[in-house]
Chains A and B, each alone.
With several copies, the nearest count.
Chain A
Amino acid sequence: MIKLTKEPINTEVILQNLEDKSTGGVVLFLGRVRDHANNKAVTKMDYDAYPKMAEGKLAEVEAETQKRWPVKKIIIVHRYGSLELGDVSVAVAVACAHRKDAFEACRFAIDTLKATVPIWKKEYFKEGSGWVDGVMPTMKQAGDKTTLQ
């Protein structure tokens, strides 16, 4: 399941939706708004998205992760809009029979998401603000590193 949303991310609901008696290992990653960046205090963070395209890319991340690992359940939620310090901006949760797969699949999913999903961050400092330096999106997944020319 994938979701792009302006609402707060509810980790409790994510873990409930991940319940599955056939899976022994669950790995949940949460990305949160941090109070500092490059030794400067951050006060809040805006996330800009290309919503329809971001949803398509999130779905690709989900499909590619399921293709590469024996994933029983996967939930990817990304928030956008204006976030406060400590707010969860992204959640990736994976349930597998074994923990090794769950760790690897979750790591792959968040790394691939970061490399492909069109979302931009703007940091606000006590004085001023700035768009966060990012990466050129990869054509496909993090697996092949072909950068768009």
Chain B
Amino acid sequence: MNITLRFFGQLRELTGKQEHEMTVKDNILIEDLEWLLGQRFPQIKEHLETSSFSINEEYVSRNAKVNAGDIVGILPPISGGAE
């Protein structure tokens, strides 16, 4: 199935990509996608552990299932607002 990845902040800079289409096995879990991303984008491998994932604009846990056509966000630690 096909899904769309979106990278933000430092991850966007490191991958050089804002959006990226990817073909993955049906109903892949986020934790397996995380492993795949580490293979495909070794430059962000060390950041994936501290990143969060979203599916269609909602935070999800590592055991969430991805469906065909989903938009998966890979979100480094957030730092909005002021301290």
Contacts and interface: CB of A to CB of B under 8 A. Distances in A.
Interface residues of B, number: 26
Interface of B: 6, 8-10, 12-13, 50, 52-54, 57-62, 73, 75-83
- 3 tightest Cβ-Cβ pairs between the two chains A and B: A31-B82, A119-B80, A120-B9
Interface in A59-110: 78, 89-90, 97-99, 110
Interface residues of A, number: 41
Given A53-B73, A148-B59, A120 B10 contact: yes
Contact of B82 (A32, A118, A120): A32
- Main secondary structure on chain A at its contact with chain B? mixed
A24 B83 CA distance: 7
A25 B57 contact: no
A121 B75 CA distance: 13
6 contacts: A31-B82, A50-B57, A56-B58, A98-B82, A114-B78, A134-B76
Contacts of B80: 47, 49, 54, 78, 89-90, 113-114, 117-121
Given A120-B76, A120-B80, A148-B52, A137 B57 contact: no
